[in-house]
Structure 1
Amino acid sequence: MKIVVDLNRCQGYAQCAFLAPRVFELHGEEALMYTPRPPDGQRERVLRAAAACPVQAILVEDRAEAGSEEYSESRLPDGEGRSGVR
């Protein structure tokens, strides 16, 4: 699983931080930090957080079935690292 957050779209509503606090953290009023490759045990929380984002700023790329190295579902540019001061 890989997460990409469009920090230009993110408005700091922090729904993700409430639903998956081990993956998403809000620092100050608007700075979102996140772990782009969360542990597998956080999968359901991350999916709920992405669905709850009011501005749909969170992309979750899930590895395709059957061991493929390709990712499915891509809507935002690729990005790495724990990210983001706004």
Structure 2
Amino acid sequence: MIESAEEFVRLRSSEDPTEYNRAAHEEADVATWRDVLTRFPDMRVWVAQNKTVPLEVLEDLRHDPDERVRSMVRAKGTWKRAHPEDFKRLGDPV
């Protein structure tokens, strides 16, 4: 488990594939993710990319100014299940 914002940034910035993969696959609590978003805004896209990031953090990123972050949020299975309306095509029945 990722225990702090600093640990996430260190893992994500590492050239060691094991550490880099931890940043993409390990869980952190909501407070840790929010600390990353607040203190390290350049890491938003990498938070959104994490495979275990909880829905409430994705909600925080939903209207991010960076299109890459918004796109990553919408690509998450967790998001798709919680917000199927985001994926209806124009003209589809409601």
TM-score interval, normalised by the smaller of the two chains: 0.3 to 0.5
TM-score normalized with structure 2 length: 0.33
Please tell me whether Structure 1 or Structure 2 has the larger radius of gyration of its CA atoms.
Answer: 2
Considering fraction of residues, name the structure with more strand: 1
Considering fraction of residues, name the structure with more helix: 2
TM-score normalized with structure 1 length: 0.35
